[in-house]
Each structure stands twice: as structure tokens, then as C-alpha cells.
Amino acid sequence: MKKRKFGFAMASLLAVGTLLGACGAKEEGGEKTTTDAGNNESDFSVAMVTDVGGVDDRSFNQSTWEGLEQFGKDNGLSKGNGGYDYLQSEDEGDYVQNLNNLIQREFDLVFAVGFKLHDAVVEVAEQRQNAQIAIIDEVVPDLPNVASIMFKANEASFLAGVAAALETKTGKVGFIGGMEGAIIGGFEAGFVAGVEAANPDVEIFIQYADSFSDAEKGRSIAALMYNQGADIIFHAAGGVGNGLFTEAKERKQKDPNANVWVIGVDRDQYDEGQVNADTNVTLTSVLKRVDVAAQEVSKLAKEGNFPGGELITYGLADNGVDLADDRGAISEATKAKVEEFKKQIIDGSLVVPNEPK
């Protein structure tokens, strides 16, 4: 297997922050939504703080929010105080303010979405020891009021690598990461290992965007990879991946015979790949069932069993990660091979690496 990491010069776009209100946070519609807790069937309330990708990133934040929305509906809660809600972070300076805001609004459980909120969670949890905080995709040890939720994304990424290696027509595939680190490194490591296991002759292009929100940079990286012959690109880059989908769809619109595919991440990104009624560029997606995790941890907290100080890890064996329905884009022979590897991972006979080579 040839594994090529390449880069190119690109001016970084400056994120323009919005003016924050008195609470130092941006909320949906620019206003706080308040709800009388007495109108809810339960007196338990839950909220989340997004990372800079935003609640509608079509990825990790959105999946978490969908989980909280479902939990709210299942428990007769309304959006707002006393029910379920979110605060969106425009930049990293918002994290502490947003966490404190939700705790001051007396939410019983607050989710912090993404490893970038680690320091903010530690700071707030140490100061507010009665607060219950769950951080997703990061481990905060030794704090009894913080639950850490992790996913074996490397396992599902391995399956995506197998599918990519067996479905590529050019013998070249790509991986676009958001920001380098242990979490995204797990996606890369699993994907590369899967490609290598299925077909070691496939060449892999790897590029990081140094962002989880710069869609234009994602599009530029995707264009470079497609131009160099990759026909399948997997992204683990949050909002950056929107640019990948834009590039793939535009190429398909210009040339219906263009062989361009995208592997989505975190949630089923089939809708993002829709070109027209008959054409879609999403091969499959690596699922992190963050929505399920958010619901399960919320249920535990509601029942008085908040797993503070604990690490909860979701993998293939407990349906915490998987590949999304390919909707016929993947051949039956490839799906059979993917299932074969999946069983090996679940029974422990195959251990997937979690760090890039």
C-alpha cells in the first residue's frame, strides 16, 4: 500500500465572531427560549454546548442534538429552560461561558460536544462540583461530576476502508481530516488499515484541513484529490466535509458519468450527497451513534444514575458505531467482505489500530 500525505499552501480564512449577548452566548434565533418546567411531564432537563462546527453541522453536533430532541420528545419535554436546549459556540472562547450559562439556567445535565471543550469542561466542573457534565469524544479523568463518552470510530472506519478499497475503480482513495489529534487520528488509522487489509495496492491521499468548519478548504482539498485520481474520499472533518460534498456533487452535475464518491461521517450523510432525484454521491457513512449515547446517558442521569467519573465507550460490538445503509451503491461482494471483517472485529480476532502509522 502506498500512503501519501500531501499538502498545499492556502490562506486561512478568519472566522468572524458575532457579538455576544449579556450571557456571552449565541442561542437559536438570538434569544433565549424559556419554558415553564411545570409544563413538562418530567422535572429533568438536559442541554448541550456545541463546538465551533455549529448545531447544524450535518455531523457530530447535529447528531447529538437529534439525540436530545428525541429524548425530550420521549419524556414530554419542551425546548427551553426546564426541558432540553443547546447553546452554539462561535469560537473557542465561548465554551466556558456557554457551559456556565446552561448550568446557571439549572439544566440537570449538560453535554459538551467534542474534544476541543476538554479544558473548558475541566475548568467549569472543578468550580461547579454539583453540576453534571458529559463530554463527548474526550476523556476527563478524576472528576466525579464528569462522564466521558468515547467511540471506537476506528472500527467503523476500518470497514469504510475495506469498502473503499474494494469499490475504487482508479486504485486511489482519499481521507480528509479536520484537525490532527487522537480522535481524528483514529478515523485515519482505521480507514488506512481497512484499505490495506482489503487491497494493499490502493494508494491513499491524506490531508488535514486544520479546521472543523472551513467548508471552502474542504472543497479545495477534495478537488485536488479528485484531480489526482481518487474516486472515493472519506472525511472526518465536521463542517469541512460540506465542501467535499459540494465538490463531488458539482463534478457529477457537470459529468453524469464522473466516478466520484464520498464516505460521510458521524451520521448518515446520504441526504448531503443527493445530486438529483436519480443520483447520489454518498457511498456510505461511518456512523458514530452519538444520538443514542446522548439519549442513554440522559436516561441514566434522569434515573439518578449519572455515570460521573466514568468512561463509556461505544464500539461495533454494542452498535455504537457502524456503516450506514449504502442504498445499493456498494456491491454484494463488497458487503459480504465488510461483514466478514466486522465479525472478526466483534469477536476480537481482529484488533483495529487507533493511531496513524
Alpha carbons 261 and 328: distance in angstroms, whole number = 13
Q: Are 55 and 69 in contact (CB under 8 A)?
A: no
How far is 231 from 47, CA to CA, in rounded Å?
40
CA nearest to 87, candidates 106, 77, 102: 102
- Type of residue at 229: G
List the CATH code of the domain at 153-288+327-346. Answer: 3.40.50.2300
Instruction: Please state, in angstroms and rounded to a whole number, the distance separating the CA atoms of residues 185 and 117.
Output: 18
Query: Per-residue pLDDT for 36 more than 70?
Result: no
Q: What is the Cα 236 distance to its own chain's centre? A: 7
Report the candidate in 59, 123, 58 with the shortest Cα–Cα distance to residue 95: 123
pLDDT tens column, 132-142: 999 999 999 99
CATH of domain 28-151+290-316: 3.40.50.2300
Torsion of CA 238, 240, 245, 248, to 10 degrees: -140
The candidate with the shortest Cα–Cα distance to 233, out of 177, 174, 291, 274, is: 174
* Model pLDDT, residue 37: 37
The model's pLDDT over 10-23, given as tens digits with 9 standing for 90+, comes to 333 233 333 233 33
Tens-digit pLDDT profile for residues 215-235: 999 999 999 999 999 999 999
Question: Which position has the grid cell 476527563?
Answer: 140
Instruction: Quick: pLDDT tens for 105-160.
Output: 999 999 999 999 999 999 999 999 999 999 999 999 999 999 999 999 999 999 99
Q: What's the burial of 209, exposed, middle or buried (CB within 10 Å: 0-12/13-18/19+)? A: buried
- pTM value? 0.81
Same fold, 28-151+290-316 and 153-288+327-346: yes
d(CA 129, CA 126): 6
Instruction: Summarize pLDDT for 227-261 with one digit per residue, the tens.
Output: 999 999 999 998 899 999 999 999 999 999 999 99
Residue spans per domain, the chain: 28-151+290-316, 153-288+327-346
- Average pLDDT value for the chain: 89
Q: How confident is the model at residue 41 (pLDDT cuts 50, 70, 90)?
A: low
Helix (H, G, I), strand (E, B) or coil at 311: strand
Q: For residue 258, with 0-12 CB atoms within 10 Å meaning exposed, 13-18 middle and 19 or more buried, which class applies?
A: middle
Least confidently predicted of 60-64, 231-235, 256-260, 341-345: 60-64
Angle between helices 332-346 and 153-167 (to 10 degrees): 150
